[in-house]
A and B are shown apart, each in its own frame.
Chain A
Amino acid sequence: DAKTTQPTSMDCAEGRAANLPCNHSTISGNEYVYWYRQIHSQGPQYIIHGLKNNETNEMASLIITEDRKSSTLILPHATLRDTAVYYCIVRAANFGNEKLTFGTGTRLTIIP
């Protein structure tokens, strides 16, 4: 699976949009981009995933560049409960490839 690069930490004001970037310049054509987050002392939580089209769900939006070498997770109206470590993961959707490789992620702090 391709490697991802994320900033170590970010701050965002409460109520504003939080934009978390991820670089995956070596991504292959069959690899999806997944985002999980981990709130302190909890297990990781799935947020969203996509292949090449932008995706939106009740939690977030995922914007993938046309060349697929980078993406941005957008939390439209950040709340204090969104403070967490956010992981960007690239994974090929092959049967049997179940490994989610969690890097160091971005520690997002929402400021009141």
Chain B
Amino acid sequence: DAGVIQSPRHEVTEMGQEVTLRCKPISGHNSLFWYRQTMMRGLELLIYFNNNVPIDDSGMPEDRFSAKMPNASFSTLKIQPSEPRDSAVYFCASKPGLAADTQYFGPGTRLTVL
């Protein structure tokens, strides 16, 4: 099993630029989650999808953040425009379905906004 794949692993950008983070869930998993981890706030759920449909985006910090899941094997988290306070590690996780117990996390993308 390849596990959850995230790209890029590291991203450094300048304030105001658009940033796109990518996630490929485990094959056959129907639920996908985006988290953000910072020292100040810990690990926070931003949004999750089931069968490619966004179910709960109440954790998305503001309109600069958007997430899509065009098909079962790909999701993006976009920040436009980026700000220094968006610097964090962004994790994607997937699980077989909403009834499943275990979320499988990817290795994360470390984002630095200068």
Contact = CB atoms under 8 A, between A and B. Distances in A.
B112 to A, nearest CB: 15
Contacts of B44: 102
Interface string A1-37: 0000000000000000000000000000000101000
B99 interface: yes
* Chain A residues touching B, majority SS: loop
Contacts of B106: 43
Given A95-B98, A96-B55, A44 B105 contact: yes
Contacts of B101: 32, 34, 46, 49
Given A43-B91, A46-B104, A100 B99 contact: no
A43 B98 contact: no
B55 A102 contact: no
A103 interface: yes
Interface residues of B, number: 22
A95 B104 contact: no
Contacts of A96: 55-56, 98
B12 interface: no
Interface of A: 32, 34, 41-46, 49, 95-96, 98-100, 102-104
Contacts of A102: 42-44
A98 B43 contact: no
Contact of A98 (B4, B42, B56): B56
B27 interface: no
Given A95-B98, A98-B45, A99-B56, 5 more contacts: A43-B106, A46-B103, A96-B56, A98-B48, A98-B56
Given A98-B31, A98-B55, A103 B99 contact: no
B107 A42 contact: yes
B102 A43 contact: no
B93 interface: yes
